[in-house]
Chain A
Amino acid sequence: QKEVEQNSGPLSVPEGAIASLNCTYSDRGSQSFFWYRQYSGKSPELIMFIYSNGDKEDGRFTAQLNKASQYVSLLIRDSQPSDSATYLCAVMGGNNNDMRFGAGTRLTVKP
């Protein structure tokens, strides 16, 4: 069983739509959850982190965490072509020392 699972996509949405990215994890002791955006040929860029159950909003981005269901999601409102990238879900293990990544979801926003 993979530790962090994401739909590999690709996910295609029209400009202005809401993009919904999902992630599940296996380690029930995990406490820290992150979403990174990675453009082709570039390094991962942190866009959201969440530690508590519920929603966390930052501009057009909303992260949602449900520890009981071991589920993390990222919503991108008013999607723009510049949001086209691979989105990596990352989960810090229960020991808070090692971070594991999902395989990433490739998002394409079409003008």
Chain B
Amino acid sequence: DTEVTQTPKHLVMGMTNKKSLKCEQHMGHRAMYWYKQKAKKPPELMFVYSYEKLSINESVPSRFSPECPNSSLLNLHLHALQPEDSALYLCASSQDPGTGSEQFFGPGTRLTVL
């Protein structure tokens, strides 16, 4: 298994809703990442988990809450989002944290906040 999977593919939510994005990999990778990508812009790093511990939080608003239940799973909990949070949310994984190894991306979740 050489892929990163993300669910759901699409999500529409209101500003008062609570929802979660899910990411899964079975490559034995020990680093996992959340990125946000707006249209015609590059991905922006949000969070990095190394060995299931949060190692980087790029000053992301608290309405985004990451969670890494185990080495294969990564969640992003969403609450009280704003319309400007509408974007493609990408999960990625890499083999060894801190070694600069290549990252592999999942297909993304396209989020629309109404």
Among B11-19, B65-73, B102-110, the one that faces the other chain is B102-110
Q: With A51-B100, A99-B45, A103-B41 in contact, do A44 and B105 touch (Cβ < 8 Å)?
A: yes
Are A96 and B48 neighbours in the complex by a CB distance under 8 Å?
no
Distance, CA A102 to CA B43, complexed state (A): 9
Distance, CA A49 to CA B104, complexed state (A): 12
Is the interface on chain A under 10, 10 to 19, 20 to 34, or 35 or more residues?
20 to 34
How many residues from B make CB contacts under 8 Å with A?
25
Other A-B pairs beyond A43-B90, A45-B105, A103-B41, 17, CB < 8 Å: A32-B101, A34-B102, A42-B107, A42-B108, A43-B88, A46-B104, A51-B100, A88-B42, A97-B50, A97-B56, A97-B97, A98-B48, A99-B45, A99-B103, A101-B42, A102-B42, A104-B42
* B residues apposed to A, CB below 8 Å: 33, 41-45, 48, 50, 55-56, 58, 88, 90, 97-108
